[in-house]
Structure formats: C-alpha cells, structure tokens
Structure 1
Amino acid sequence: MSAASATSAASHRAPGTGEPDRTTASSEVPAGVTAGVAVFDRQTGTFTEQLNTTMPFRSASVVKLLIALDHLWDKGPAYDIPAADRTRLDSMLRSSNDDAASHYWVQNGQGAIIDRMVTRLGLTHTSRPPSTHPGYWGYTAVTAADTVRIYRYLLDRAPTPLRDYVMGNLRRSTRCATDGFDQHFGIAGAFERPWAVKQGWSEFSSGGCTAAPTTAQAPADASAGTRTKAANGVDLTRPALHTTGTVGAGDRAIVAVLTLHPDGTTYGKAYSDLGRLTRSLVVPGAQEPAGTWFGTWSSGVRVRAGATTESATLTTLPAGVEVLVSCQKQGQTVTVPPYTNSWWAYLPQYGGYMTNIYIKSPENELPGVRAC
C-alpha cells in the first residue's frame, strides 16, 4: 500500500474537556486521501488516535444521526414512536435511506436542526449547510472530534430509551443501503462484531449490492442551486467516504474516520483505501477478523452461497474492492478468457464464495490461504 504515516506525538487534551485540541496519530493514510480521524477509548477516557480532528468535512449521511436525535429529542420517557416514524427512522439509520432524511429535514426546519443540535450537544465545529444549498442536508459540516461528541452523548447522557433505539438500529446496519451501495466498509469491514455504524458517502456511483437503487440524495427543496467547490472551508466536490460508530463489547471505542478522495476515484478504491486506514488504527476492544486481504478486478462480481455458478447469489462486490479471504476450496471450473480456474475463495464477511478468477493473484490457488 502506498501510504504516508502521520507524525506521532503524545496525546494532548484541552483542559477539562476530555477532547483533542491538536493532531496526534499513528494511522496510515493512503496517498491522495485527506482524513480526519478520532478514536476514543471510553474505558480510559482517552484518545488513541487523533488526526485533523477539527478539520470540517461535508457530512454526507453521517448527519442522519443529528436528524434522528433532533426529531426524537422531546418524545417523553416512554419514547412511543408512531409506526410511520419508526419505519422511516429505522430505514434511515440502518440502511441510510435518503428519502427519510429529506422528509425530516423539511418537516423540522432544515438548517435549524443543526443549530439546535450544536447547542444541545456542545458541538464546536459543526454547522448547517451553506446558505446557497439549504436543502442539501449532506452538506452539513462535521468534524471527527464532533462526531465523537455525538456518540458520547448517545452512550453516556441520552435517555436510555433513546440510546437503545438509535444504537440498536446502528447495530443492525444492513450491508446494502437503500441506494444500492455496499455500506459495510471501514469499521464494519475491519473488525468483528460487536460494532454499530453510521456511514456516509458522496459523489460515487453505486458500489454494487442487492438493494434496488433509489434516488440519490435529492435536495430537500428544488431551489438548492448549483454545486460549488467549497463553502465555509468545506470541500463540497471531492468524493467523500466516512465510517463512524462504536467497536467492542460495551461500545468500548468510538471511531470516526472522515475521508476525501481524489476526483475520479472509484468506489472500490475508496472503499479499499478507507478499509486500510481503519485497519491501521489503534482501536481498544476491537478484534480483527482472521484471513488475508486480496484485491479483485472486474465489476458485478457475485458472492455465491456455494462454489458453483448455479449457487444462489448473496450479493455483488463493488468493482475492484479488496476482500478478506479466510479459506479456499475447489469447486466448479470457471473460464473467463484467457483465464480458467476451479478454486473458490470463502469471504467470511459476506458469508459466501467468489471464484478465484477475479482475485488478483499470480496463481489459481491463493498463496498462504488454507483449504476450507
């Protein structure tokens, strides 16, 4: 991997805040990627990773956490959520449903949602979308440090019913988002459960999954205007891919990794680069899955229930994404001229097999990978 190691330094916190006030990190950031990273150990009350923690990024779908919290803020101790609301909120939090987010964005006052949540949660570098794009909830500015603050509120201060509802949905994150993206990158790909995630992406074509694509984030009003390069110091055009959430028993670690990628970056490359970055982090309580990571090629590659092309398709892979292989076995011979291969790799994070023909390796049988 072509990567540049961030400069390491002693962790430093602002007096009395428990929050980072300067950049410290040991993470590996792939070349060309801009990243903001914060990893907070709830057991010790310290940060294990801090990189560009107050750099603002457009939130993409990470802002759905604030949209949900604002809508549920004053629901009373029982938190009796009407069925229609529960359906929308479940889909927004688990499957990143954009239509649900736009519904609440309009209903609850657009940027006023962000203003309220900044005050309620004590966020220091989060701000509403620029005045030129009031309907674009994904243009909300967030930072890695403020993302940690959002999760710390949820876990440590929110009423128990609210915490259990929101975090319960994040624990049940679906692999396929409602817009057809495979959203189990970053935290979800790097670590074994238990984890809970809210992901974000912007300016990518569909990564390939089994969900039927719907309208990508439509502005909540028709007068949002044309896109601009930057507003209030926030880049609005470079492809963005974010992974946020908690990892480990008892939600021990809070992880926020916000990234921007060079124009033209494919979803598979960004997915893989974010995975490498996330796997390089010191995350207390995390367990990395067993196996070996390999690159892939081609698009629409199917993950199947068995080692044959007749086996049921479980999902499709984002084009060119890296995959974790735990074992391999011989199955149906597959020919894709000029290649022929009878070996199939088992991908534990997808629960199925792919033919080795689409794995980047000089041999048909993957080196160093055990037989299933």
Structure 2
Amino acid sequence: MKFLRSGLSAVLAGSGVMWMTTAASASTDAAVVPPGVTAGVVVFDRETGEFTEQLNPDLQFRSASVVKLLIVLDFLSDRGPRYDIPAADRARLDVMLRSSDDDAASYYWEERGGGAIVDRMVARLGLTHTERPPATHPGFWGYVAITAADTVRIYRYLLEQAPAPVREYVLGNLGQATRCGTDGFDQYFGIAAVFDLAFRVKQGWSGFTNSGGCASATPRAAGIDLTSEALHTTGTVGTDDRTIVAVYTLHPDGTGYGKAYSDLTRLTRSLTVPGGIRAEGTWVTTSGSGVRVRSEASTSSQVLGVLPAGVDVLVSCQRKGELVEGSPRSSEWWAYLPKYGGYVTNVYVGSGSDKLPGVPDCQ
C-alpha cells in the first residue's frame, strides 16, 4: 500500500487563479498571509448568505487529508435510505474522520475505485475545480486537487442537502476531532486553535518530516520528491454551524511543522468569522522541541501533550510551581494553556524574564 500523505512538488499543474462569481468576488483586506506562504481562503456566513473572506478561492492545492470528506461521502452515497454502517466500516471511518487515519483512507480508496470516487463526488456535489490525482500518481489520494471554494461547497452539501443520517454522522465525527492524528501530528491548528466551543474540523498536512508534536510520526516514503509543505484547516464555526471556513496553505520547502502550524493559525486569527467565539488569552511562541504540557505545574505530573517545535500557543494565566533549571534562563513560573488543559514551564515559553509580561496569575 502506498504512503499517501506526502506532497506534490508544488501546486498541481493547470490550477490557475479564478474568482468566485457569487457574492463578493475579490479578496478582502482582513486576511493576513504570512510572508512566503501561498494561501487560498474562503469564509462563508450561512446566516447571511455572504462571503466574508475570499482569497484565491479557485486556486488548486493538493488536498492532503481533506479528501477524506469525499471518501466518506462516497461510501455513504449508496447506503440509503437507512444509511446503516457495518461495525467494521464504522470503526475505520470514525478514526479516519476524527484522527485523520491514513490506513482507513487507503482502504476505501482502493476498495471504491480510487479516482472514480472523485469523479462521482464532483458530479454529485457540483464541484468545479476538484480533480483526480495526476496520472503519474493515481493511487495517491492526498494528491487530489481541491480548492477553498470547492471545500465550502462540500460543507454546504453536508449542511443543506445531505440526508440527515449522513450529515449527523460526518459532522458528528468532525466535532470530535482528536488533538493528535494517528500519524503523530498535532492537528489542533487553525480553526481548532483560534476558536472555542462550537467548531468541527477536517484538517490536512503534507510533506513534513519533523515531529508534529504528539508522538513519533510515520516517516514519509522514500523516493517521493517533495517541495512545498502543505497545511490546511477546514470546517464549521459557531452555533448551528453558522460559518464555513476553508484555508489552504503552501509553505517554502523545508518549513518546520511548528512554523507552518503558527503561520496558518495566525492567518486564521486574521479572518472575519461570524458566530465564532475566539479563545481568550495571550499568544506566545515556544522555544525548544519536545516541550511537554503537564497536568500540574511540576515535572512529575502527568504529560498531557507535546508541543510542536517553535509553535504559537495561547496562554490564559500563569502560576508558580516547580523551579525548572534551563538555558538561558530558569523559572518557577508555569503558563496555563487552555487548549491543552495543562501547564508548560515558562523556561520554554516566550522570551526574556521568567514571568510572562501582561499575563495574569492563575486564580
């Protein structure tokens, strides 16, 4: 079985840039794209029927794991009217949607005809710029070409046209996305990092060789030429899935996962997302790699997670705890990360003094 999360050498050939003709047809001023990043962004407010953000909406990117939305919709398309899912399939699909499992995606890609899945879903959902993987890599589902605009169409189909059992199953799983993918990458970037409470996500990442922050990541397959690393965040935000957000990004070859994670999250933070409740706190950057988030302010407490190297994290407060000796500084202060529900020593958060300026003490 082929390893399918690796990337293409660049944006898929023949993509071009076309603008959506519905509602706003030009990029807005709000989206702030970090230097060196290529982005495609669409934000659609279902309550007003308007687009609040559009930037390169029809620019094609390799889909990475976002294509798993098409895989599950194709699987469910011929199971009506009851849409019963056998236990073995439910187990595979649950982990594919919640934890972005590649083995599950590969299983259905082969079982259901590979590129034919894309052809069927393009016709059913009215997608305009989604295409099979290139002829040179027909088995690589992560090479499906997709756009931010077509991604919004996928979510609109789920929310507005799909049979209720399909909508409830797929969106229910996206609302239970795990922090760690089964390949060891932390997938709480973008939408999941910026917003609190109501959100559902299907993320995508491709071409990264360094640790994603959870566990030992699966090595990429040898012999595949990879250049631009890809990181995507897609999903819905707000009560009753008010706003659909699709952000696709490509990063210069060799970009570390932590930097791409932070750049995508910064871009997402700049967007106008009606109904979104933004997580409160102060954004700071970590230093070092393998920094552990712990249940209490001590090195003997339970490890809740491991941060990607050099990543932006949200800090809500700080408290005194165990003194940690480090270089170039030591600190007895620990920052609380609400998105992790735990603490990280200030030795590896921010820079300068041992206590973070402007961050309140935990009560």
TM-score, L = length of structure 2: 0.91
Matched, 1:118 2:122: yes
Say which of 342, 353, 357 aligns to 2:332: 342
Deviations 1:344-370 (A, max 9, x none): 000000000000000122111101111
Structure 2 Cα separation of the partners of residues 50 and 311 of structure 1: 45
Secondary structure in 1 aligned to 2:181?
coil
Say which of 169, 184, 188 aligns to 1:165: 169
Structure 2 Cα separation of the partners of residues 177 and 169 of structure 1: 14
Alpha-carbon distance, 1:337 to partner: 3.4
Please show how residues 69-148 of structure 1 align to structure 2 within 5 Å: 69-148=73-152
Question: Does the Cα contact within 8 Å between 1:77 and 1:161 map onto a contact in 2?
Answer: no
Matched, 1:61 2:65: yes
Partner of 2:265: 275
Secondary structure in 2 aligned to 1:319?
coil
Q: Specify the code of the residue in structure 1 equivalent to 2:103.
A: D
Question: Does the Cα contact within 8 Å between 1:38 and 1:49 map onto a contact in 2?
Answer: yes
Matched, 1:321 2:325: no
Question: Does the Cα contact within 8 Å between 1:178 and 1:212 map onto a contact in 2?
Answer: no
User: Structure 2 vs 1, CA of residues 170 and 246 (structure 1 numbering), >3 Å: closer, same or farther?
Assistant: same
Say which of 340, 345, 349 aligns to 1:355: 345
Question: Does the Cα contact within 8 Å between 1:192 and 1:289 map onto a contact in 2?
Answer: yes
Question: Does the Cα contact within 8 Å between 1:20 and 1:145 map onto a contact in 2?
Answer: no
Partner of 2:16: none
Structure 1 Cα separation of the partners of residues 163 and 223 of structure 2: 40
Partner of 1:195: 199
Structure 2 Cα separation of the partners of residues 57 and 312 of structure 1: 39
Say which of 213, 234, 245 aligns to 1:244: 234
- Structure 1 gap ranges (5+): 1-11, 219-224, 229-235
Q: Specify the code of the residue in structure 2 equivalent to 1:131.
A: A
Partner of 1:51: 55
Q: Specify the code of the residue in structure 2 equivalent to 1:294.
A: V
Alpha-carbon distance, 1:78 to partner: 1.7
Structure 2 Cα separation of the partners of residues 136 and 182 of structure 1: 22
Matched, 1:42 2:46: yes
Partner of 1:29: 33
Structure 1 Cα separation of the partners of residues 210 and 178 of structure 2: 16
Question: Does the Cα contact within 8 Å between 1:180 and 1:206 map onto a contact in 2?
Answer: no
Structure 2 Cα separation of the partners of residues 226 and 214 of structure 1: 15
User: Structure 2 vs 1, CA of residues 211 and 19 (structure 1 numbering), >3 Å: closer, same or farther?
Assistant: farther
Secondary structure in 2 aligned to 1:357?
helix
Structure 2 Cα separation of the partners of residues 242 and 44 of structure 1: 25
**For the aligned residues, what is the CA RMSD?**
1.7
Question: Does the Cα contact within 8 Å between 2:227 and 2:252 map onto a contact in 1?
Answer: no
Structure 2 Cα separation of the partners of residues 35 and 183 of structure 1: 18
Question: Does the Cα contact within 8 Å between 2:25 and 2:54 map onto a contact in 1?
Answer: no
Partner of 2:153: 149
User: Structure 2 vs 1, CA of residues 117 and 19 (structure 1 numbering), >3 Å: closer, same or farther?
Assistant: farther
Structure 2 Cα separation of the partners of residues 251 and 37 of structure 1: 18
Partner of 1:306: 296
Structure 1 Cα separation of the partners of residues 273 and 25 of structure 2: 20
Alpha-carbon distance, 1:213 to partner: 3.9
Structure 2 Cα separation of the partners of residues 159 and 215 of structure 1: 38
Q: Specify the code of the residue in structure 2 equivalent to 1:362.
A: G
Q: Specify the code of the residue in structure 2 equivalent to 1:193.
A: L
Alpha-carbon distance, 1:206 to partner: 4.7
Partner of 2:10: none
Secondary structure in 2 aligned to 1:130?
coil
User: Structure 2 vs 1, CA of residues 160 and 57 (structure 1 numbering), >3 Å: closer, same or farther?
Assistant: same
User: Structure 2 vs 1, CA of residues 355 and 175 (structure 1 numbering), >3 Å: closer, same or farther?
Assistant: same
Question: Does the Cα contact within 8 Å between 2:257 and 2:308 map onto a contact in 1?
Answer: yes
Deviations 1:315-335 (A, max 9, x none): 100011011100000100000
Alpha-carbon distance, 1:19 to partner: 6.3
Q: Specify the code of the residue in structure 2 equivalent to 1:309.
A: T
Alpha-carbon distance, 1:22 to partner: 4.4
Deviations 1:114-169 (A, max 9, x none): 01110110000000000000011000000000000000000000000000000000
